[in-house]
Amino acid sequence: MTDPKLTAAIALHDRFTHGHMDRRAFMAELTRIAGCGAAATMLLSSVAAHAQAAPAMAADDPRIRGRDVDWEVAPGRRYRGYRASPAGAGASTPVVIVIHENRGLNEHTRDVARRLAVAGYVGLAPDFLSPAGGTPADEDRAREMIGQLDMPQTVADGVATIRMAKVVDSGPRKVGIVGFCWGGAMVNRLAVASGDALDAGVSFYGPAPDPAEAARVHAAMLVILAGLDARVNATGEPWIAALRAAGKGDGITYPDVNHAFHNDTSEARYNRDAAEAAWAATLAHFARHLGT
């Protein structure tokens, strides 16, 4: 049986992290839900993601080679990020760009890049806060900075990163993208904006564009939604329908799971069965459209 306090806390946390609620108001309401300050602290620990949690894939795993990288997205404008490659990667190994949540580039996102490397791809995780000095340690500040990004410029930076990945290390290579939450929304935006430079995309529970934009998509798309995520599904479901109608992609909704169910650093949100199924679907999609 679902714990009503936990359900309410997850909904409140979504308002805090995706809306305009300040931390003081958030903690006051969470304390009301929990019944006392100590219980609120425990609820928050369960609901929030912990970026420094033990990674699924160790940074020194001998199957991969991981390092910090930087590249130019426009004259005088550079991005930083993390790249994880299979130990035997060659010039034609496909690249999958991993787009972070609204907390910026953290260890969890790097971990996802390493998982892709073990699966046979070059995982490239850009820090979309690079122009603002990079992702800060304070997650509240990172979310604030994400909200202040110039979105047309950020999308242009993303398209430039896709085009760079296409030819890096003497390519050409096939390029895919996968993103979560804010990153899932960016996957949708970049699929619209990048033309035929992008080969495949997977969007995890990210708000979607106007369905009419599906006609501009060239990449093969897979949109993954969480059944309990009414906020995102309000735009995600019409987007899936439009992609299907345009012959550009498909979608999967996992029932009875919350937004961010794939993030294994959040105890309350993570759903192992759905996360593993969604990851298998992601790898199958990339294998079909990028190869390995």
Domains and CATH numbers, the chain: 4-47 (no CATH), 64-289 (3.40.50.1820)
- Which residues fall within 8 angstroms of residue 32, CB to CB, at 6 or more apart? none
**Is the previous residue joined to 172 through a cis bond, with omega within 30 degrees of 0?**
yes
Please state the pTM of the whole predicted model: 0.84
Residue 101 near residue 112, CB atoms below 8 Å: no
The confidence score (pLDDT) of residue 273 equals: 94
* Whole-angstrom distance, CA of residue 102 vs CA of residue 51: 12
The confidence score (pLDDT) of residue 33 equals: 77
* Whole-angstrom distance, CA of residue 156 vs CA of residue 74: 9
> Tens of pLDDT along the chain (292 residues)?
357 777 777 777 667 766 666 677 776 777 777 777 666 666 666 666 555 555 667 888 888 999 999 999 999 999 999 999 999 888 889 999 999 999 999 999 999 999 999 999 999 999 999 999 999 999 889 999 999 999 999 999 999 999 999 998 777 899 999 999 999 999 999 999 999 999 999 999 999 999 999 999 999 999 999 999 999 999 999 999 999 999 999 999 999 999 999 998 877 788 999 999 999 999 999 999 999 8
Residue 180 near residue 99, CB atoms below 8 Å: yes
Sheet holding 175-180, edge to edge: 64-74, 77-86, 122-126, 95-99, 175-180, 200-204, 220-226, 249-254
Residue 180 near residue 210, CB atoms below 8 Å: no
Burial of 195 (0-12, 13-18, 19+ CB in 10 A): middle
Q: What is the CA radius of gyration of the chain?
A: 18
The confidence score (pLDDT) of residue 1 equals: 39
Q: Backbone phi, then psi, for 70, in 5-degree steps?
A: -145, 160
* Whole-angstrom distance, CA of residue 124 vs CA of residue 252: 25
Buried b (16+ CB within 10 A) or exposed e, 116-134: bbbbbbbbbbbbbbbbeee
